[in-house]
Amino acid sequence: MADLEQPQLYLVTPPEFELSSFPDALARVLDSADIACIRLALATSDEDRIARAADALREQAHARDIALVITDHALMVERLGLDGVHLSDGARRVRAVRKDLGADAIVGAFCHASSHDGMAAGEAGADYISFGPVGTTPLGDGTRAEHDLFQWWSEMIEVPVVAEGALDADLVREFAPVTDFFAIGDEIWRHDDPAAALAALVAAMS
């Protein structure tokens, strides 16, 4: 499992971006590294804006055979031609969403730092469980997803696990042996050259 090979990369979009420029920036990142999945994680609830963003990103993702999922908006998955959904509220909706979207859709669940929630989501049909934040962030209540959680999960549970939140090179180095994926977003998008920022994180894995 996780400790046998290098973790895969899972890109998370910024919560807000310019449709005129972001798809090109994304394309440069996608061409610079081997990306397994992209999460459209816009903060807006404006359906038209989400749809236009999804169209632009789907074109970039599917041209490279990369899956594209959306945060929480399960009802938009089929309409927008996406590959699945990332649920940010743990196990609560996994079973219902899996039933609605069918067996082929990707259903992921963010479970903060709760192994119990993670196991419940896995049993309900989630394709992956995401824990975080791994790093220290002023957001939330200060709870972090610790190394021990990932180590236990990678040894005991077969459902793939994703590490995310406030990552840096040291954390990537530390968690690489115990996670299947790193979800990387603001860690690279806040830089002038996101592809170079990603390369630095990837270098820390090996």
| 99 has pLDDT over 70 | yes
Average pLDDT over residues 35-50: 97
What CA–CA distance (Å, rounded) separates 137 from 167? 10
Q: Which of 18, 20, 21, 29 is nearest to 184 (CA)?
A: 29
CB 169 within 8 A of CB 201: yes
What CA–CA distance (Å, rounded) separates 180 from 137? 22
| 26 has pLDDT over 70 | yes
In this predicted structure, what is the pLDDT of residue 63?
97
pTM across the whole model: 0.96
**Cβ atoms within 10 Å of 20's Cβ, excluding its own:** 8
What CA–CA distance (Å, rounded) separates 206 from 102? 36
Q: What percent of the chain has pLDDT over 70?
A: 98
In this predicted structure, what is the pLDDT of residue 77?
98
What is the per-residue pLDDT across 187-196, written as a single tens digit (0 to 9) for each? 999 999 999 9
Radius of gyration for the alpha carbons in the chain, expressed in angstroms and rounded? 16
In this predicted structure, what is the pLDDT of residue 3?
42
Largest Cα–Cα separation, the chain? 45
Mean pLDDT of the chain: 96
What is the per-residue pLDDT across 46-81, written as a single tens digit (0 to 9) for each? 999 999 999 999 999 999 999 999 999 999 999 999
What CA–CA distance (Å, rounded) separates 201 from 187? 9
What is the per-residue pLDDT across 111-145, written as a single tens digit (0 to 9) for each? 999 999 999 999 999 999 999 999 998 877 889 99
What is the per-residue pLDDT across 140-165, written as a single tens digit (0 to 9) for each? 788 999 999 999 999 999 999 999 99
Domains and CATH numbers, the chain: 2-205 (3.20.20.70)
What CA–CA distance (Å, rounded) separates 93 from 61? 26
